[in-house]
Structure 1
Amino acid sequence: MRQGLAVVFLGFVSSLAAAGAQDELAARLLQVAETRSFDAETVLAAAESPEVRWRRSAAKLVGHFRQESAARVALQLARDPNPEVRAEAVASLGRLAPWLSQPSWQTRVRKALTTALADPAPAVREAAAWAWAAAGEADSVLLSAVSRERELAVRAAMLRELWRTSGNQWPAVALRYTRAGQAELRWAALWSLSRKGGGEVEASLPELLRDPEPQVRLLACEAVRRHRLSGLASSVVALLADSEEGVRVAAMNALAELGEGASQVVTGKALRELDQLIAREDLEHPHLRVAAVRLAGATGCCREALRSLVEEGGWAGGEALLALARQGVREAVEQELASPDPFFRRWAVLALPHHPKNQELVVKALADPEVAVRLATAEVAGKLGAAALSAELTKLLSDPDSAVRLQAAESLFALGRPPDPTILVKLLEQELSGAASETSVDLVRLLGKPQNLTPEAASALEKARYSRFPAVALAAWEELFRHGRVRAFPTGAAGKPLAAYREIAAFAAKPRYWEVVTVRGTFTVALDTEEAPITTYNLCQLAEKKFFDNLTFHRVVSNFVVQGGDPRGDGWGGPGFFLPDELSRKPFAAGSVGMALAGPDTGGSQFFVTLTDQPHLTGRYPRVGTVASGFEVVRRLQMGDRILRIRCGEGAPPIPVPVWYGPLSVEKLEREISEFRQNRESYQPDSQWLSWLRKATSKYNVVVAMGTWCSDSREQVPKLLKIHEVLGQQSPFSQITLLGVDRGKKVVPQALFPFGPVERVPTMVVTFGGAEVGRVVETPLSPTLEEDLVRILAPLEGWELPEEGHH
């Protein structure tokens, strides 16, 4: 086998020598990756290359082609002398295993993975654990590997994958590891138990809820929530006062899921603190507030605070409406259903499962003129379990919006009244006539969903195997495979000219970053161009075209992800093309950036950032980068927050100016933003106007709404501080209060800034006796700030000043 491949490789390189074999090979591999067209000559040339990077690329690539020729290359590279190559080949074997129809190939793959679990290189053993679980193999082999593993990180990786294996031996073993001395092992064992459920996870949780490691406590709360373990409610209550914010959020979400069980244990001080959290607008900790709202809905408390929050709107206001509905407050839901604002109507629809007349109200909402409302209603209708709604959902199969049509079809399946396959076929044909969309892939999945394929569905799936969209062709092939109809793997699309892939390769050869500017501040992402060259290139192309400007973060899940980049804003949109999955074994730790998918090879423009470690995403979703700075901005993003712009840069990511909310200290500003100190020290106020300020007989205060991110704030506020410093004891200003606002000019609570909305920053409000007497907005109207201050005080002090512009 190796001798034959060597001949192919030498012939290939010889034919490309004039153009530069290495550059050409890079371009051709990218073309194979994007088109999903198995070019044996290119792949084999890379597999036989003396350079590790090409063999590693081939090892990764073959995992996407469910055919014997790809498995043959992966098996060869699983014996490569380089451990990086072996690890990638082993991971590819794990991806291929479920799709190999011949028992002989399954046996060969199983043998290779078993060998890899005992490989001398830790990275290979870790990849083998992932692959063994991805293949759905028996737990006994992996448990044997766990027992002999000496590397802590690898043993933890093996424990994390147990839940995906077949067999019933592993839960008892995982339970023992939840008592291990190392926190990594306890967390990993609990991860598998929490994904699977059962008596073992419940037995482990009382102790793990008191674990010294915060991430273990957080995961324990998530296990209680996921499996609704009401018997542990009293243990979770203690974590409402945990020192870690993420644990407190997880505890509140767990108790909210328990419902009545929570209301019996959340009492006294805990209830009072919930009320305070809901009433206080804390822009730095939005997840705490939303979690408190959800828990209030479950316990029946804080009704007035919830009503006030509904009026405030936003993510927390929508959650407050759901909480009130859960408490049985019907009028709030009915009022918002009639709101002229579709944002509130959508939240009211989500609250309908708690309304006694939900079917009647759902029927009305299904005719809403707003797409987002109809879409949400169609989803809710499927969850109500009322077969009487099937007629109304059937009408939506002809809705002008493709996402609404698909959701209606999915809800009909949920109600046990699936649409006629001929209708789904027509919808698929309609969808495939346009640009690439997730809806087309989902329709293929629906056609294959019934236990037995109808002739119409089978014919449509056979036709879809030849779609110009590789993601659609792959989905159709998979559905046919699941129904026992083994077909040749799709041949892929034609692809772009090789020059386009040379450009991508050149792009990926240099470090790149994203600068993401949001209303909550700026964060930067170090893009992983090596592991995801096609995806990062396309994301940067979209950014340069200003595709992301003014889009929103439409999905925010506490302790999980924030997600944005959808032009529709509801999770159903994309750029009009699909990107191939570029999968790696790099872990999805907190701050990892990945691509949202609706199935294999369906990435587009939607991206997410993980808020905590999420091992189940590793190797299954494209990981395109890591937050390099500004992760605190990511943590305070709220559902609906806008992306002001995203730009792509070359080199190391810059450190953005931070965005801070609420009261700010001069010491913090000057310590962490050097520009503040420099601007204060370099400013020389006009002595003439300082002499006027020294004459003031009354004392005033200044309250400044400013943005640390704003260049005018960083210039003008230091001038104010210098004026106050130079005047010393003769300053007319008793106090200068600095309040940080976000890029949306959303200010801190009214108690601190009762002077109306802020349209531009900085806004410096001069007060006397608590009342405003004048303000300076953004930049002075006069030549200097000190002159503006004098002219504000002059009427109160009785000063006669020279005309403006004359000294």
Structure 2
Amino acid sequence: MTYSALCRATAAVAMAAGLLPACAPRPVASATALAFPANQFALDSALRRIATLQDERRTAALLPYLGHTEARYRQAAAEALASVQDKAATPGLLLLLQEDDEPRVRQLAAYALGQTADSTAETGLYQQLPHETDATARRYVLEALGRCTSRAGLAALTRLPPALAADTAALSGQAWGLYRAGLRGLTSEAAVARLVQLLAAPNPTSARLAAANALARTRGLNLAPYATALLTTARQDRHYAVRAGAAQALAKAATAPTVPAALAALARRDPDYRVRLSALRAMSAPMYAPVKEAAWAALTDENAQVALAAAEFFLAHAANEPGPTLLEKAQALSQWRVRATLLAAALRQPGDGRAAIRRAVQERYTAATDAYEKGYLLKALGEDPAAFDFVREATFAPSRSLVVGTYGMEALVAQRRLPDFPAARQPDFALVLRQAVLGGDVAQLGLAAEAIRDPKLNLRPLLPNPDFLLDARAKLVLPRDLEALQSLQQTVDFLRGVKPTPVPVAQAASHPIPWDVVMALPAAPRAVVRTSKGNVVLRLLVNEAPGSVASFVQLIRQGFYDGKNFHRVVPNFVAQGGCPRGDGWGSTDYNLRSEFADLHYGEGAVGLASAGKDTESCQWFITHAPTPHLDGRYTIFAQVVEGMDVVSRLEIGDRIDKVELLK
């Protein structure tokens, strides 16, 4: 079809929907005017129109594009509806899935149906499966079923039609479908048995990865009968992420006699740090004695994330371990986060040595110069109610950093939750919460509000009047302070005994996609994040997430990220940065709408942090390994193409020296 014919066809669709023509004259930034390959939006105003309608959440205006004569617009509209997630689009998407001639269109229709999670789509998805001729589309249909299926329909997902028994794409789709269902709490003995079968080495890597993740993340499973199969996968699978998932799943097979020794061996010997780390996380209190020596050894693992996981093991599971022994081991460690976590474990132990441990932690706090180390030491003191006054003074000290104030508030709340927190100090704690709310710091007031509505703390008798919360709420600014306002509003509703009040989310009109920025970018722009540990190069996914990429580019050009820190690092999960406060509570004065393109969180995916759908701003994270539970829930706007070794070494407090766009 010629360009003029395309314009006429698109205009007819747009006019039928009451829209402006989708094909305006081409902009100056055309392919011939650019010195580099242009992105799709610089070349096609109709795609810009579809992306704008997605950003504005205008389902009715997107639906006509599902019937467009050009496949690329049908694809774009289906993918756009995956972000909108409006069940009003289900009939149109089902029709597209069942009747479109283009496999990629059908794939994206299935993806959008899964994203919408409309149970009424279940029948249509099952009906399409035996008629689907494209293998990849069958995989999409099966995964979408996992997001849509009912408990009654799970049996059909567990049993593939005989004609698909050897179809590798269908095997992957089935595994991912069972994974998605498991995340929703839908599982069965038959589903578990099928997932264990899909772990076997002859199956495709995608299927094994999905099966391992499903077994690791589905709650309430007893996997002891499958311990042998899980152990074989954890030891022998050729893909580190499959081994890691199987190792994590072994936590649910803890009663099998062979599991503790196997986890200890994995923690010591697997060549990939993420598998060693997963083995440590799978260790539990009942297996403490047989795995303890492996956990001690892991405290000095060459990878700091593994060492931290070992310290977290002792914090979670050490029982009646002499506190002074833990103190001695902690003092010998060089990694401050590992040391502080082990000090917390020491304080958690009963016994006469607790006062000496507390003094040692307080002395370290006084001597420390790094705000994040100070914060972690306050976090350790959160294990000891006798340190209440010390932590309170540090938390509200006039010269404290924002980071220290946030960690200190978390520590005070943690102390109050301890069973041995003195009843005589409960009024003092209530005054601390009131001080935090009225102080105006968004992190402190958000954390305080969360504590006030915790029914286990029973603070209503001490703080019955929500007026001080209303005064604090009136001073917050949306959307910048959205997370704090959410917490305050939930607490006000709790104290009043009323249903939760919806918190407004910023609309697209408040910060529309800056198309001038988008169209000036090449098809595959790159940025380098220069950190204190080395450089990380990102490929920006402008075609898939134009609004998110444009915001990131604008912030780069403002120098927004220069001098910031990685404020959150969760081992074998994410390294997160970009917070202007440095504690995770910071934002910009605008929000973005979520852009859920057909992308997946593999190793090195870069996503935008959020406080819920359509609340993204400036914070972003990089994944250490596949994290498929984030798929379709957090915008992916970039991919690491160089420097994953740097990402694996990043720690809390590491500096972002500068972020630059590459020529």
TM value normalised by structure 2? 0.78
Question: Which residue pairs with 2:14 in the alignment?
Answer: 9
Q: Distance in 2 between matches of 1:77 and 1:526?
A: 32
The question of 1:143 aligning with 2:155 is answered no
Question: Which residue pairs with 1:510 in the alignment?
Answer: 523
1:54 counterpart letter in structure 2: Y
3-state SS, counterpart of residue 351 of structure 1? helix
Question: Which residue pairs with 1:248 in the alignment?
Answer: 276
Question: Which residue pairs with 1:752 in the alignment?
Answer: none
Per-residue deviation at 1:336? Answer: 3.7
Q: Distance in 1 between matches of 2:394 and 2:161?
A: 54
Question: Which residue pairs with 2:80 in the alignment?
Answer: 61
3-state SS, counterpart of residue 159 of structure 2? helix
Pairing partner for 1:237 from 250, 257, 264: 264
Q: Is the 8 A contact 1:5 1:44 kept in 2?
A: no
Aligned residue pair count:
593
The question of 1:19 aligning with 2:43 is answered no
3-state SS, counterpart of residue 509 of structure 2? coil
Q: Distance in 1 between matches of 2:253 and 2:393?
A: 34
Question: Which residue pairs with 2:33 in the alignment?
Answer: none
Pairing partner for 1:564 from 571, 577, 585: 577
Question: Which residue pairs with 1:431 in the alignment?
Answer: 476
Deviations 1:352-382 (A, max 9, x none): 3533636666655654543433433443455
Question: Which residue pairs with 2:174 in the alignment?
Answer: 158
Question: Which residue pairs with 2:404 in the alignment?
Answer: 373
1:77 counterpart letter in structure 2: L
The question of 1:554 aligning with 2:567 is answered yes
Q: CA RMSD in A?
A: 3.7
Question: Which residue pairs with 1:670 in the alignment?
Answer: none
Mark the CA change 1:302 to 1:424 in structure 2 (over 3 Å): closer, same or farther: closer
Q: Is the 8 A contact 2:82 2:111 kept in 1?
A: yes
Question: Which residue pairs with 1:346 in the alignment?
Answer: 375
Q: Is the 8 A contact 1:372 1:570 kept in 2?
A: yes
Q: Is the 8 A contact 1:62 1:71 kept in 2?
A: no
2:168 counterpart letter in structure 1: L
Pairing partner for 2:328 from 304, 325, 329: 304
Higher relative CO (Cα under 8 Å, sequence separation at least 6) belongs to 2
Per-residue deviation at 1:59? Answer: 0.9
Structure 2 spans left out of the alignment, 5+ residues: 1-8, 28-42
Per-residue deviation at 1:9? Answer: 3.4
1:221 counterpart letter in structure 2: A
Per-residue deviation at 1:140? Answer: 2.0
The question of 1:86 aligning with 2:106 is answered yes
Mark the CA change 1:228 to 1:638 in structure 2 (over 3 Å): closer, same or farther: farther
The question of 1:123 aligning with 2:136 is answered yes
1:83 counterpart letter in structure 2: P
Deviations 1:230-252 (A, max 9, x none): 96323311223323132223333
Mark the CA change 1:408 to 1:131 in structure 2 (over 3 Å): closer, same or farther: farther
Q: Distance in 1 between matches of 2:24 and 2:10?
A: 22
Q: Is the 8 A contact 1:62 1:73 kept in 2?
A: no
Q: Distance in 2 between matches of 1:357 and 1:220?
A: 41
TM value normalised by structure 1? 0.65
Mark the CA change 1:501 to 1:565 in structure 2 (over 3 Å): closer, same or farther: closer
Question: Which residue pairs with 2:216 in the alignment?
Answer: 194
Once structures 1 and 2 are overlaid, which stretch shifts more, 294-303 or 55-64? 294-303
Question: Which residue pairs with 1:792 in the alignment?
Answer: none
Deviations 1:466-519 (A, max 9, x none): x6x13xxxxxxxxxxxxxxxxxxxxx63654xxx64324414552101111111
Deviations 1:620-645 (A, max 9, x none): 21112221112111111122111111
3-state SS, counterpart of residue 613 of structure 1? coil
2:146 counterpart letter in structure 1: A
Once structures 1 and 2 are overlaid, which stretch shifts more, 234-243 or 322-331? 322-331
Q: Is the 8 A contact 1:550 1:642 kept in 2?
A: yes
3-state SS, counterpart of residue 530 of structure 1? coil
Per-residue deviation at 1:599? Answer: 0.8
Largest Rg, 1 or 2: 1
Q: Is the 8 A contact 1:566 1:572 kept in 2?
A: yes
Identity %: 24
Question: Which residue pairs with 2:40 in the alignment?
Answer: none
Instruction: Map residues 253-292 of structure 1 onto 2, 5 A cutoff.
Output: 253-255=281-283, 258-259=284-285, 261-267=287-293, 270=294, 273-274=297-298, 277=300, 285-292=303-310
Mark the CA change 1:262 to 1:582 in structure 2 (over 3 Å): closer, same or farther: same
Deviations 1:304-348 (A, max 9, x none): 342133xx5643343343344345663344444463455444223
Per-residue deviation at 1:87? Answer: 2.1
2:115 counterpart letter in structure 1: R
Mark the CA change 1:534 to 1:360 in structure 2 (over 3 Å): closer, same or farther: same
Per-residue deviation at 1:131? Answer: 2.7
Q: Distance in 1 between matches of 2:553 and 2:331?
A: 43
Q: Distance in 2 between matches of 1:382 and 1:86?
A: 50
